[in-house]
Each structure stands twice: as structure tokens, then as C-alpha cells.
Amino acid sequence: MVFGRSSRRETPVEPVTLKILVAGGFGVGKTTLVGAVSEIKPLRTEETLSEAGRPVDDLDGVESKSTTTVAMDFGRITLREDLVLYLFGTPGQDRFWFLWDELAQGALGAVVLADTRRLEDSFAAIDYFERRGIPFTVGVNCFEGADEFPAETVRAALDLDPEVPLMMCDARRRESVKSVLVAVVEHALVRSTREREPAAT
């Protein structure tokens, strides 16, 4: 004791690190979401859209898009002193989906980002996580000029299970994105706890 205080320093907290995927259709805002919330300079693997890809890249509704993610986006956010999320944004086009299995290894959960103008582009990501039992939350990215629909209307259109969280969000705004990420973690932890509970006899 020195002057009535302990001379021992508090042991620094070793944070829990969790892996979260950010998935969805082409041009839905995955790169924007990771960049909006990451506390480090995000890693991006964007390439300029080329004439060669024009026949296979559907630009309906995202005509102004000029680049695309070809491997992944990566960012990090500290939710609490003891909880850090590593974010992995998946490529949106069909021809890059072979990367999804690699990116999904060890993931706690996922965000499926949706655009009401192109809801059908969300089906593949939703199906992917449902088939693999990976908990996910749907974030409806509210683009300027897009028609607004009640959450329950979007839920019905996507044919989501009642337990899957669905939230309206703005992928450009940090606090909006944080709310979606918190929902993913909470949903995954609730499901994990439920699965560990012994079955009633």
C-alpha cells in the first residue's frame, strides 16, 4: 500500500472477439455499412465494374454503382470494453459465392442487408444462413427515394421465421449500424442458450 492505495494495477480486460458476416445482394450497401461503423480503416477489395461483367451484373436499381467487392470487406468495432466484433462483408454477385463458405467459418452470426427495391436479391443470403444454422438479422437499408414499407410487410415478403429480427437501418450511419450489430449478437446468444438447455422430458 502506498499512501493508502493499492500499488497493484488493475489487470486489463481481455475482450471477447466475435466474427459477424455482412451479406446481401449486389449493391445493397455492405461496403458502406462496414465502413460506417469500423474503428479501423476498413480493408476493401473493390474493383471497377467492367464491360466483361456487364452481362452478368444486374444493375437495375443501382445504375450509379461503379465498383464491386470481389473478395471481402473487413472492419472492426468495439461494442464494449470486453466485446469486439470483426466484420466480414461478403461479395454480392453469384460468381463470387464460392468465398462464402470460407468467410462463414467460425462466424457467430450475420447481417443480411436488404433493399426494398430488390428484395429478391436477399433470398440467396437468407437461404444460405438458414441452411447452415447461422443466426442472422435482416437490416433493411432505407435508401433515399425508395418506397417505405412496414417491417411486417417486408418480413412477410422475405418469408422470415418469427424469431429472426428485422430492423430498418441506414448503412451510412454509425449508430444505426451499431443497433443492427447488437441485435445480431443478442439473437445469436439467445439461440445458443436455448440450444444448450436440456430438452423437457
pLDDT digits (tens, 9 = 90+) for 44-88: 765 554 454 444 445 455 454 445 544 589 999 999 999 999 999
Nearest to residue 91, comparing CAs of 72, 114, 111? Answer: 72
Q: In a 3-state reduction of DSSP, which class is residue 125?
A: helix
Q: What is the DSSP string of 44-55?
A: --EEE--TTTTT
In the chain, the domains with their CATH numbers are 17-196 (3.40.50.300)
Cα–Cα distance between 38 and 77 in angstroms, integer? 5
Name the pTM for this structure.
0.79
Q: Is the pLDDT of residue 116 over 70?
A: yes
Residue type, 146: A
Phi, psi of 189 (to 5 degrees): -70, -40
Instruction: State the average pLDDT for the chain.
Output: 84
Nearest to residue 127, comparing CAs of 25, 13, 11? Answer: 25
More confident residue, 3 or 107: 107
Q: State the average pLDDT over residues 93-110.
A: 83
